[in-house]
Chains A and B, each alone.
Chain A
Amino acid sequence: MNTNMTKLSLGPIQYYWDRQTTFDFYKQIANSKIDIVYLGETVCSKRKLMRRNDWLEIAELLKASGKEVVLSSMTLIEANSELAAIKSLCGNSEYMIEANDMSVVQLLKDKPFVTGPSVNVYNPASLKMLAKHGLKRWVLPVELSKSSLADMQLERPAGVETEVIVYGRLPLAYSARCFTARSHNLPKDDCQYRCLDDPDGLMLSTQENEKFLILNGIQTQSAKTSNLILDLDELYKLNVDIFRISPASQHTVKIIDLFYKTLHESYSDKKANTELQKLMPVGGSCNGYWHGANGMDWKESTEEVLSQVTR
């Protein structure tokens, strides 16, 4: 693939890691092959080990290493205190903001922004509507397929970049209830920050021991890791500009390297996939959403023709 124009991004950390771990993680990221880094707490406003200034310090470090930095907003915004926090975030003019809730789009008042995967941009009309308000980049919603993306790309407004999650456990749902606290028989208001115990979330299995979902505070994720390594060629042909990797507690830099080599250095995607299988957290791979199937399915890439959009 001659993929000079495509970029790799690192999504926000969705879990709760302690401050030192977070700083150490981003020091490694600063020296990685990643092009764009999304920073900030997106899941739970009670997670406060990282303060605003800590995130900005990391942003500086990454920027100094040549990375583009985007500040990500919270996703579920309910309390007035949470609204106040995003108002302050939207006042930052140094970095672009990833809006993970429509309130953020509203507060940005037509400043440039990115929509995260949980803002529902399901059709070209939505994309055009947001472009009028300053949308510069959108992340494909998690449950949409390549054929829906192909339709979107045909009508994508000029100057809007497309980003797709290519690796990581998928954010599937948000609730007022904290399922991690519930698993410890604790109320959310006295959660004792037990999500610190689970750097990649807490496994939920069926009564037949099938690994099904991940509880991450108020967020529910897929137990399987979404993995589009075998589908990169299709993504490229569909003019996807940015390929997003979600942080995990282990091996994130190696995973970035594998995607980089596959995208830019003709490394075999099959070999990369074999290596990824060893690096990913337990649960295995899925890519069903991309192929228009059940999200949890795994499909080996087909030679299907992408009829509408090609480079």
Chain B
Amino acid sequence: MSILDNGKTKKMELVCPAGNLPALKIAVDNGADAVYMGLKDDTNARHFAGLNFNEKRSYQAIEYAHQRGCKVYLAINTYPQANGWQRWKNAVDMAAKLEVDALIAADIGVLDYASSKYSELRLHLSVQGSATNAESINFYYDNFAVKRVVLPRVLSLKQVAQVAESSPVPLEVFGFGSLCVMVEGRCLLSSYATGQSPNTFGACSPASAVEWQETNSGLHTRLNNILIDSYKENEPAAYPTLCKGRFEVSSNTYYAIEEPTSLNTIELLPELQKIGIAAIKIEGRQRSTAYVNQVSKVWREALDACHNDSDHYVVKNEWLQTLHEVSEGRTTTLGAYHRPWQ
């Protein structure tokens, strides 16, 4: 898709998380091509206390970004039920009023409303839309004229290339941050345990259900009283995301689903560029401004290096060090991009 007629590849856009106005400003100042944000309610998949933007802040954010040539995307990417429908409609209306550069949505009802009411509003399919193949993308393209699709973090690099080859629209992929092991939009583990899921509530393993419990046998982390992990003295403890705990299967206790680790694809940039990926997304609207600062700097530098000369692109050690320091469990993985991970 994004191979230009003259044979040169397009530059990949760096899309950074903006959980609040300070984070947004840092991302913009560090050279993000676009930032993405959410409103202060359950219409987006980072519905956390103290996070996100009201109307006034949204205007300030967009003004700040636009004055500096940075695009702003608004995520309305959870799944409304009938009793909340008005809130999602209001959010879409707000996106149009704010004149955001794109609305990132997942639910076909929301997409239908947005595309039929606001034909000028650019739509991106959220990762929560679970489009893992070109025919799914065709569905969203034919029905809602989505202009970009964010791929779930479940495809191998080869599969990403296959999808890119037949997709009618450019693709955005995740470059760095928290790793969803499950297909986004199709994971109900959190609501099974706590009643709240990314789809319904905009949160996974919500903080309100978390308990850190000191016991005689060490620290226990619980989610709605379910033991997610237990730690020996001095063993670093991780947030009890329920797919990243140690459980017992066939009498073995281990990270049965996934370790606490972050996704990092920085070494794949030349290949992603060759495939024609339009944008690299950095996860982490819920993270600190320090995280946004460090990660956006590294990725800006890496993308520039890749764009300038992808044949001689080398991952710098200092990039990796910085990224490891802000990673879950201080380790990173290529995740599903790397077939043996699967």
- Nearest CB of chain B from residue A213's CB, rounded to whole Å: 7
Q: How far is the CA of A98 from the CA of B139 in the complex (A)?
A: 16
8 closest Cβ pairs, A-B complex:
A125-B109, A151-B82, A103-B135, A295-B192, A176-B154, A106-B139, A122-B79, A173-B182
Residues of chain B from 194 to 222 with CB closer than 8 A to chain A in the complex: 194-195, 197, 199-200
Q: In the complex, what residues of A have CB within 8 A of residue B314's CB?
A: none
On whether the beta carbons of B183 and A295 are closer than 8 Å, the reply is no
Q: Is A203 an interface residue (CB 8 A)?
A: yes
Interface size of A as a range: 35 or more
Q: In the complex, what residues of A have CB within 8 A of residue B155's CB?
A: 78, 176
On whether the beta carbons of B246 and A202 are closer than 8 Å, the reply is no
Q: Is B230 an interface residue (CB 8 A)?
A: yes
Q: In the complex, what residues of A have CB within 8 A of residue B132's CB?
A: 76-78, 101
On whether the beta carbons of A122 and B81 are closer than 8 Å, the reply is yes
Say which residue of B182, B226, B253, B339 sits within 8 Å of A220 (CB atoms): B182
For A150, the closest partner residue in chain B by CB is: B82
Q: How far is the CA of A202 from the CA of B247 in the complex (A)?
A: 12
For A292, the closest partner residue in chain B by CB is: B195
From known contacts A125-B109, A143-B200, A294-B224, infer whether A103 and B256 are also in contact, taking CB-CB under 8 Å. no
From known contacts A124-B109, A175-B154, A213-B189, infer whether A207 and B248 are also in contact, taking CB-CB under 8 Å. yes
Residues of chain B from 166 to 190 with CB closer than 8 A to chain A in the complex: 181-183, 185-189
Chain A to chain B contacts (Cβ below 8 Å), 9 pairs: A76-B154, A129-B108, A155-B82, A172-B189, A173-B188, A176-B183, A182-B256, A189-B342, A206-B248
| Binding site secondary structure of chain B | mixed
Contact flags B277-292 to A (C-beta < 8 A → 1, else 0): 0000000000000000
- Nearest CB of chain B from residue A97's CB, rounded to whole Å: 14
On whether the beta carbons of B246 and A125 are closer than 8 Å, the reply is no
Q: In the complex, what residues of B have CB within 8 A of residue A105's CB?
A: 139
On whether the beta carbons of A294 and B113 are closer than 8 Å, the reply is no
- Nearest CB of chain A from residue B245's CB, rounded to whole Å: 8
On whether the beta carbons of B199 and A123 are closer than 8 Å, the reply is no
Tally chain B residues at the interface, Cβ within 8 Å: 70
Q: Is B9 an interface residue (CB 8 A)?
A: no
Q: Is A147 an interface residue (CB 8 A)?
A: yes
On whether the beta carbons of B199 and A177 are closer than 8 Å, the reply is no
Q: Is A174 an interface residue (CB 8 A)?
A: yes
Say which residue of A75, A125, A170, A178 sits within 8 Å of B113 (CB atoms): A125
Q: In the complex, what residues of B have CB within 8 A of residue A205's CB?
A: 247-249
Q: In the complex, what residues of B have CB within 8 A of residue A152's CB?
A: 82
Q: Is B191 an interface residue (CB 8 A)?
A: yes
- Nearest CB of chain A from residue B203's CB, rounded to whole Å: 13
On whether the beta carbons of B195 and A189 are closer than 8 Å, the reply is no
Q: How far is the CA of A102 from the CA of B155 in the complex (A)?
A: 17
Q: How far is the CA of A103 from the CA of B130 in the complex (A)?
A: 10
On whether the beta carbons of A294 and B191 are closer than 8 Å, the reply is yes
- Nearest CB of chain A from residue B282's CB, rounded to whole Å: 21
Q: In the complex, what residues of A have CB within 8 A of residue B250's CB?
A: 183, 202
On whether the beta carbons of B192 and A296 are closer than 8 Å, the reply is yes
On whether the beta carbons of B82 and A148 are closer than 8 Å, the reply is yes
Q: How far is the CA of A148 from the CA of B84 in the complex (A)?
A: 10
On whether the beta carbons of B109 and A293 are closer than 8 Å, the reply is no
From known contacts A202-B250, A294-B224, infer whether A142 and B342 are also in contact, taking CB-CB under 8 Å. no
Contact flags B303-338 to A (C-beta < 8 A → 1, else 0): 000000000000000000000000000000000100
Q: Is B257 an interface residue (CB 8 A)?
A: yes
Say which residue of B156, B193, B230 sits within 8 Å of A296 (CB atoms): B193
Say which residue of B112, B134, B248, B340 sits within 8 Å of A187 (CB atoms): B340
Q: Is A204 an interface residue (CB 8 A)?
A: yes
Q: How far is the CA of A105 from the CA of B130 in the complex (A)?
A: 14
For B78, the closest partner residue in chain A by CB is: A122
On whether the beta carbons of A207 and B230 are closer than 8 Å, the reply is yes
On whether the beta carbons of A106 and B135 are closer than 8 Å, the reply is yes
- Nearest CB of chain B from residue A145's CB, rounded to whole Å: 9
Q: How far is the CA of A118 from the CA of B129 in the complex (A)?
A: 12
On whether the beta carbons of B226 and A78 are closer than 8 Å, the reply is no
Q: Is A130 an interface residue (CB 8 A)?
A: yes
Q: How far is the CA of A79 from the CA of B200 in the complex (A)?
A: 29
Q: Is B138 an interface residue (CB 8 A)?
A: yes
Q: In the complex, what residues of B have CB within 8 A of residue A103's CB?
A: 133-136, 138-139
From known contacts A189-B339, A215-B256, infer whether A79 and B159 are also in contact, taking CB-CB under 8 Å. yes
Residues of chain A from 131 to 146 with CB closer than 8 A to chain B in the complex: 142-144
Contact flags B104-130 to A (C-beta < 8 A → 1, else 0): 001111101100000000000000011
